Amino acid sequence: MLDYARQHAVEALSIPRTAVLATSGPAGVQASEFPCEAIGLDVYLLLPRTSDHLYNLEENPAVTLLTNLWELSGKAAILGPEWLDLELSLSRAPGVEWCVVVHVTPRKIQIRRNEGWGNTETIDIP
């Protein structure tokens, strides 16, 4: 990936504090908004332990994340206690003890237009 495209993707991912997670699987199609945080190109979401998304992710790790700034498609993994070693502000969120962290590795990011409809840029991530 070109350095300027990577930097643009990192900057775009760092802005939103919430994202809509879309999954599909045994629990059906699910779409819900959750707190999120990015470190570089890695995106982390804080989900309640009772979320049907977790059931879907066990069978199908393919996800889509949506914000008002970008759309991301990638692969998700439910993290164990090792996520506490990451320096995430999500660890200070209210009710964090009843949540799990999901790590999303992007494969494609589409940057949305500031005005109008459509995307201004698509960044494929190897």
CATH for 104: 2.30.110.10
Question: pTM above 0.75?
Answer: yes
pLDDT, tens only, 46-76: 999 999 999 999 999 999 999 999 999 999 9
- pLDDT category at 18 given cuts 50, 70, 90 is very high
Work out whether the CA dihedral 51, 52, 58, 61 comes out positive or negative: negative
Q: Is 110 helix (H, G, I), strand (E, B) or coil?
A: strand
pLDDT of residue 82 exceeding 70, the answer is yes
Residue 90 tokens, joined: 């999500």
How many domains are contained in the chain? Answer: 1
Whether pLDDT at 112 is above 70 = yes
**Residues above pLDDT 90, as percent of the chain:** 66
What tokens were used for 96?
């964090």
Range of the domain at 64: 3-124
